[in-house]
Amino acid sequence: MRSSRPAGSLISYMSDKVKAGGGINLAQGIPGFAPPPELLDALRRLVDEPVHQYAPGQGDAGLLDAVGVLFAPHGPERDQLLITNGATEAIALIYAYLAAKLPHGFATLAFEPVYESYRNLPPLFGSRFVPFDAPEGILPRLPDLWGRICDEKVRVVFVCSPGNPWGRIWRRDEVERLIALSEELDFFVIFDAVYHGTYFGEAPYLPVERISPRLFFVDSFSKMLSITGWRVGFLAADRSHFTALKSMHDYTGLSSPSLLQKAIARYLADHEGGRDYVAVMRELARCSFEALRGTLSGLGFRVPPTDGGYFVWAGLPPGFDDGLAFAEDLYEKEKVAVVPGVHFSDAGERFVRFNIARPLEEIKEAARRIEKFVRTGRRSKG
């Protein structure tokens, strides 16, 4: 018998179990690493300065300049950048803007498995969500994608690279072909790059030099600097959209915290854009990924090739066929929280997602508990 699915976000549902009952939280994408100490020092030094009122609506000037430097020499100009309350607000802001601009009845497409915001924003604005499966990449599926976009009246396409929950990185030729297709078929691309600093091999291609009327770019400092609670992100948009987006931001998010923006700006300016910190965090995440993937593969989980990001996306091992039941039982018996795959795809009921952006010792302990749970479950069923 299948478990009945709780209402709302299954990420929050599983994370709340840990908050209430303790355990290891591999459900929510929270980094288990301390922010850069130099960033915290910058924050402390700023506390006594007069920086506690609203920041400029577009963002702190120093932070806008720092973002420009991060993507130099071919990145967006300052008048194309908007600081937001995390990438979540940036995505919602762009979507609200497009929903008001586009004709009623349009659809939004994203590539399975799909991050929760991409699936849940369209219904909030009275539009439809269309999942598209492309395990081999979009180039082999271009004819199918072309037909789906036309048949379903798709006008917005989300891309996340590295992905969440599956850490696939989009190749440059794939991104460029999708942008070309957006020009041909008249749709908009929202490119989400919040995990771009966490890759396990080659760095991901970021189309910051391709910002155009058809392409929006979203990023954040949350994962880059291990400060998810600070809620400082940004978007880049073509000038043809920027005035309207900034105006909408004035009436919704208004501004992200002035103090935190200034602290990030000072840190980035003084420490080469945080390059050394990001490199260390990338290696820690890679080691945790390899450790957990090794245990899971040995237990019979099916882990697809993964290029980066914060997660292991895994098909359940033999003897288990319900990701929600697996997640609930794993927490009840071993106090390890993971996310059922059905949260990210209707076809994901036999998958689960694990957050690997945690200290290696915590990952090893979680792996030990998962192995005990799986082996015990197999014995009881046998």
Tell me: do 52 and 100 sit in the same domain.
yes
Q: How many domains does the chain have?
A: 2
List the structure tokens of 60.
Answer: 């702190």
Q: Is residue 5 part of a domain?
A: no
Nearest alpha carbon to residue 223 among 244, 242, 196, 200: 196
Q: Is residue 312 part of a domain?
A: yes
**C-alpha–C-alpha distance, residues 3 and 120, integer Å:** 22
Last residue in a domain, options 223, 251, 270: 270
Tell me: do 213 and 311 sit in the same domain.
no
265 contacts 106 by C-beta, under 8 angstroms: no
**C-alpha–C-alpha distance, residues 81 and 239, integer Å:** 10
Q: What global pTM score does this model have?
A: 0.95
On average, the pLDDT of the chain sits at 95
Tell me: do 63 and 122 sit in the same domain.
yes
List the structure tokens of 75.
Answer: 């990145």
Can you name the residues that pair with 352 across neighbouring β-strands?
314, 340
Q: Is residue 174 part of a domain?
A: yes
| pLDDT at position 231 | 97
Q: Which residues contact residue 277 at a Cβ distance below 8 angstroms, ignoring those fewer than 6 apart?
A: 36, 225, 271
Tell me: do 30 and 152 sit in the same domain.
no
Local confidence band at 377 (pLDDT 50, 70, 90 cut-offs): confident
**C-alpha–C-alpha distance, residues 74 and 163, integer Å:** 23
The pLDDT of 367-378, averaged and rounded, is 92
Local confidence band at 380 (pLDDT 50, 70, 90 cut-offs): low
Tell me: do 61 and 156 sit in the same domain.
yes
Tell me: do 211 and 130 sit in the same domain.
yes
pLDDT digits (tens, 9 = 90+) for 124-134: 999 999 999 99
Tell me: do 118 and 86 sit in the same domain.
yes
**C-alpha–C-alpha distance, residues 193 and 97, integer Å:** 20
Amino acid at 131: P
Q: Is residue 2 part of a domain?
A: no
Tell me: do 169 and 266 sit in the same domain.
yes
Tell me: do 164 and 196 sit in the same domain.
yes
List the structure tokens of 339.
Answer: 């996310």
Residue 1: is its pLDDT beyond 50? no
Tell me: do 92 and 73 sit in the same domain.
yes
Strands 233-236 vs 215-220: parallel, antiparallel or unpaired: antiparallel
Residue 7: is its pLDDT beyond 90? no
Residue 211: is its pLDDT beyond 50? yes
305 contacts 299 by C-beta, under 8 angstroms: no
Q: How far is CA 376 from CA 54, 99, 322, in A?
A: 55, 50, 17
Q: Is residue 345 part of a domain?
A: yes
Q: What is the CATH number of the domain that holds 168?
A: 3.40.640.10
Tell me: do 207 and 302 sit in the same domain.
no
Residue 10: is its pLDDT beyond 80? yes
Nearest alpha carbon to residue 305 among 215, 211, 174, 171: 171
Last residue in a domain, options 204, 236, 270: 270
363 contacts 292 by C-beta, under 8 angstroms: yes
pLDDT digits (tens, 9 = 90+) for 219-242: 999 999 999 999 999 999 999 999
Amino acid at 264: I
Q: How far is CA 185 from CA 46, 142, 153, in A?
A: 49, 13, 10
pLDDT digits (tens, 9 = 90+) for 311-346: 999 999 999 999 999 999 999 999 999 999 999 999
Longest dimension (CA), the chain: 67
pLDDT digits (tens, 9 = 90+) for 135-162: 888 999 999 999 999 999 999 999 999 9
For the beta sheet containing 154-160, the strands, ordered from the edge strand earlier in sequence to the opposite edge, are 81-84, 233-236, 215-220, 188-192, 154-160, 107-111, 128-132
**C-alpha–C-alpha distance, residues 29 and 361, integer Å:** 17
pLDDT digits (tens, 9 = 90+) for 41-95: 999 999 999 999 999 999 999 999 999 999 988 889 999 999 999 999 999 999 9
Nearest alpha carbon to residue 125 among 168, 149, 82, 156: 156
Q: Which residues contact residue 128 at a Cβ distance below 8 angstroms, ignoring those fewer than 6 apart?
A: 105, 106, 107, 108, 122, 152
The pLDDT of 13-21, averaged and rounded, is 95
The CA angle 155-156-158, to the nearest 5 degrees, is 155
Last residue in a domain, options 255, 270, 285: 270
- Taking each continuous run of H as one helix and of E as one strand, the counts in the chain are 12, 12
Tell me: do 148 and 213 sit in the same domain.
yes
Q: Is residue 104 part of a domain?
A: yes
Q: What is the CATH number of the domain that holds 353?
A: 3.90.1150.10
Could you tell me the residue range of the domain that residue 159 belongs to? 37-270
Q: Is residue 165 part of a domain?
A: yes
* DSSP string for 83-98: EESHHHHHHHHHHHHH
| pLDDT at position 379 | 55
Q: Which residues contact residue 336 at a Cβ distance below 8 angstroms, ignoring those fewer than 6 apart?
A: 23, 24, 26, 330, 366, 369, 370, 373
Q: Which residues contact residue 233 at a Cβ distance below 8 angstroms, ignoring those fewer than 6 apart?
A: 83, 84, 85, 86, 87, 88, 89, 90, 194, 218, 219, 220, 221, 222, 256
pLDDT digits (tens, 9 = 90+) for 242-290: 999 999 999 999 999 999 999 999 999 999 999 999 999 999 999 999 9
Torsion of the alpha carbons at 78, 82, 85 and 88, rounded to the nearest 10:
-120
Q: Is residue 4 part of a domain?
A: no
